[in-house]
Structure 1
Amino acid sequence: MRAMVYRGPYKIRVEEKDIPRIEHPNDAIVRVTLGAICGSDLHLYHGMMPDTRVGTTFGHEFIGVVDQVGPSVRNLVPGDRVMVPFNIYCGSCYFCARGLFSNCHNVNANATAVGAIYGYSHTSGGYDGGQSEYVRVPFADIGPTIIPDWMDDEDAVLLTDAVATGYFGAQLGDIVEGDTVVVLGAGPVGLFAAKSSWLMGAGRVIVIDHLEYRLEKARSFAHAETYNFAEYDDIVVQLKKITDHLGADVAIDAVGAEADGNLLQHVTSAKLKLQGGSPVALNWAIDSVRKGGTISVLGAYGPMFSAVKFGDAMNKGLTLRMNQAPVKRQWPRLFEHIQNGYLKPNDVVTHRIPLEHIAEGYHIFSAKLDGCIKPLILTAAA
């Protein structure tokens, strides 16, 4: 098969790899029809995620058609059109039994916190991802779901991470009717978090970024109030001014750690850019939320030191909530929102790139060229 292959920081290729095989009776092999590049893939692309090994295939957002199933698989048959959550999980351990699918205890021998993720380095289990023509799907009776006949493929692939993660972030905010919600970051997850905040009763939604084309999308797609932090000496002061000097009720960090840059920038938080940010966005959230408020953290943070203003959070009586999204837990409600017309995920898609040109796709997405917000990957196997 043809697959995207990592060859080092900023170096990816499309190469021939063996089609994955059934390794366990509960496995399925899925022929990928549509994938995506996620903002968190850029951490891998830039060489910022530990133990990203040469030869790895990225991609944790994908849908496809079941090609083979192991002898123990009961819920799927070859030919089924399926969407696969980015979490790999067993469904039966202590954490899965409590709905913490992203913290599964049985799928990642390398981790003390996160479970396993497709195509996300050996710190996340070392599983190859879906930026390829075929992918092995463990625990095939647990994670994948047959795509409803009424659902568009592009909406389905976005539900495998970006939509579910944004929705989960709004859930973590414990939004009550009338709340003011600030979303830091206007990438796909931030856009979906902003949109979802309205669905949960927010009275005001504010999005912060520094790229005008993303702020425009926040206004048109998420109907949010927007501010470009590059236009202010201190965006926290501005946020206080527009919230009666109290601060927002809820802040959602949809940025995370630095997706590029060096270790010094991580440690010192010196690179003040929202697409990365060390813990800058998280510190802005701590400073801009009101006393007794809630912070929801969605951005990807790696296993490294971050100079977070934890003392300020404690003294303000803040509630901090965070995790990788347990994707499948969000799907029933999201299916309803999409079917009822309240949410159209593929409105954020800007680029559709053939697998053969994925290196160019990563460059466009990484460098924020051509108004790129969300690129999808079209596989030859489709």
Structure 2
Amino acid sequence: MRALTWHGQRDVRVDTVPDPGIVDPTDVIVRVTSTGICGSDLHLYELFGPFLDPGDILGHEPMGIVEEVGPEVRTLAPGDRVVVPFNISCGTCWMCAQGLHSQCETTQVKEYGMGASLFGYTKLYGQVPGGQAEFLRVPFGDTLPVKVPDDAPDQRYLYLSDVLPTAWQAVAYADVPPGGSVTVLGLGPIGDMAARVALHRGAGKVIGVDLVPERLFRAQDRGVLTLDLAEIGKDVGDRIRDLTDGRGTDAVIEAVGMEAHGAPLTKAAQRLTGMLPDTLGKKLMTRAGVDSMAAFHTAVDAVRRGGTISLVGVYGGSVDPVPMLTLFDKQIQLRMGQANVRRWVDDILPLLGDDDPLGVDDFATHVLPLEDAPQAYKTFQAKQDGMIKTVLTPGP
């Protein structure tokens, strides 16, 4: 089959690799029809080389058609259409029963002290072959894939793999009061969808902050009040207080993470770490890694006293400087973590009907064949060509 594989920093290629097969009796093999490129895929493209091997298959936002099922699978059959959540959860352990599928005890990567395994996402998360490929082996066939109708376009359901549950959890964790206010820092795919979900769930004012014009225009069209970081610079907190009676918003969703701008030395150190030999690079990232904290500090500044920060942007450092005194003094609640995809599916499915309140049908800005993936990564990383969300289509 053809698959997108990692070969080094900023070096991804579409290669011919062996087809996956049934390994465990509860496995299914899915022929991938659509698969997204996620902002966190760029972390692999840029930074996480010490935890990748050449030939690793990337991608964690797939959907497709079941081609083969293991002998113990009872709820799926060849020909069924499914979405595959990005975290690999058994659905039956204690953590999954609590709705914490990202902490699944069956697939935790204990070697690195990490939570549930993820498709296509480094040794830290199990080094499981990913979904930017023509075929994907999916474990836990009866409890992990989400069966969806056969008669709707892929893009209506594709985002159940990551974007929709991640954005939904970000808003749920933000705990915005009815009619309240929330700032969304970063209007990439997750921040954009989080703003839409917040409005849908009754937020009275949603403020979106970014510096990419296409992202700002797109959010404005959905009713978001936008602030252009390129214009206001470091005055984000002051501008948000001006819009909220001097207090700040009830909540802030931080959807940027370690990609935050404004810290060139940190960015250079991150890139250097990604280029180091694996043994040294692993030690540096797991024991001395430092992220750009610009977005997080902005969130702490912009949230009102007694408010909530919902952190959904991915960080990779281990000694990041956290402003504990300010967090304590402002009585801020902080929630974060990988999305528990299966936890939120039943809440989201009713919104994927023909009325499309969240705008999923036209959420993608680019739909490209899998063979164009290397250029798509390059364009997405550079924030060029108006690329906000890209969907790849393996096969004919």
Q: Check 1:364–1:36 CA distance in 2 against 1; reply closer, same or farther (3 A cut).
A: same
1:310 deviates by 2.5
TM-score where L is the length of structure 2: 0.90
1:308 deviates by 2.3
Higher helix share: 2
Letter in 2 for 1:352: V
- Measured in 1, the distance between the counterparts of 2:98 and 2:347 equals 18
- Measured in 2, the distance between the counterparts of 1:48 and 1:126 equals 12
Give CA-to-partner distance per residue, 1:192-219, whole Å, 9 cap, x none. 1001111221110000001111100111
1:26 deviates by 1.2
Q: Check 1:283–1:126 CA distance in 2 against 1; reply closer, same or farther (3 A cut).
A: same
- Measured in 1, the distance between the counterparts of 2:263 and 2:46 equals 10
Q: Which residue of 2 aligns with 1:79?
A: 79
Give CA-to-partner distance per residue, 1:125-183, whole Å, 9 cap, x none. 11010101111101111110111245321121122101221111111111211111100
Q: Which residue of 2 aligns with 1:274?
A: none
Contact 2:261/2:292 (CA < 8 Å) preserved in 1?
no
Q: Which residue of 2 aligns with 1:254?
A: 255
1:54 deviates by 1.5
Contact 1:32/1:379 (CA < 8 Å) preserved in 2?
yes
- Measured in 2, the distance between the counterparts of 1:196 and 1:111 equals 34
- Measured in 1, the distance between the counterparts of 2:112 and 2:72 equals 27
Q: Check 1:241–1:49 CA distance in 2 against 1; reply closer, same or farther (3 A cut).
A: farther
Q: Which runs of 5+ in 1 are unaligned?
A: 270-276
Contact 1:60/1:119 (CA < 8 Å) preserved in 2?
yes
Contact 1:50/1:123 (CA < 8 Å) preserved in 2?
no
Letter in 1 for 2:177: V
- Measured in 1, the distance between the counterparts of 2:341 and 2:69 equals 22
Which of 272, 282, 285 in structure 1 is aligned with 2:296? 282
Contact 2:258/2:316 (CA < 8 Å) preserved in 1?
yes
Q: Is residue 62 of structure 1 aligned with residue 77 of structure 2?
A: no
Q: Is residue 92 of structure 1 aligned with residue 92 of structure 2?
A: yes
Query: Is the deviation greater in 354-363 or in 44-53?
Result: 44-53
Q: Which residue of 1 aligns with 2:340?
A: 326
Contact 1:185/1:207 (CA < 8 Å) preserved in 2?
yes
Q: Which runs of 5+ in 2 are unaligned?
A: 271-290
- Measured in 2, the distance between the counterparts of 1:264 and 1:65 equals 45
Structure-to-structure mapping, 1:24-39, within 5 angstroms = 24-39=24-39
1:301 deviates by 1.4
Contact 2:188/2:388 (CA < 8 Å) preserved in 1?
yes
Q: Which residue of 1 aligns with 2:287?
A: none
Give CA-to-partner distance per residue, 1:329-355, whole Å, 9 cap, x none. 222221212215322213221111111
Letter in 1 for 2:41: D
1:250 deviates by 0.6
- Measured in 1, the distance between the counterparts of 2:371 and 2:261 equals 24
Q: Which residue of 1 aligns with 2:168?
A: 167
Q: Is residue 195 of structure 1 aligned with residue 191 of structure 2?
A: no
- Measured in 2, the distance between the counterparts of 1:154 and 1:114 equals 28
Letter in 2 for 1:291: R
Which of 350, 354, 357 in structure 1 is aligned with 2:372? 357
Letter in 1 for 2:336: M
1:97 deviates by 1.4
- Measured in 2, the distance between the counterparts of 1:50 and 1:283 equals 28
Structure-to-structure mapping, 1:109-148, within 5 angstroms = 109-148=110-149
Q: Check 1:241–1:262 CA distance in 2 against 1; reply closer, same or farther (3 A cut).
A: closer
TM-score where L is the length of structure 1: 0.93
What is the DSSP-based 3-state SS (H/G/I as helix, E as strand, rest coil) of the residue aligned with 1:333? Answer: helix
Q: Which residue of 1 aligns with 2:381?
A: 366
What is the DSSP-based 3-state SS (H/G/I as helix, E as strand, rest coil) of the residue aligned with 2:367? Answer: strand
Percent identity, please.
Answer: 40
- Measured in 1, the distance between the counterparts of 2:74 and 2:184 equals 41
- Measured in 1, the distance between the counterparts of 2:307 and 2:263 equals 32
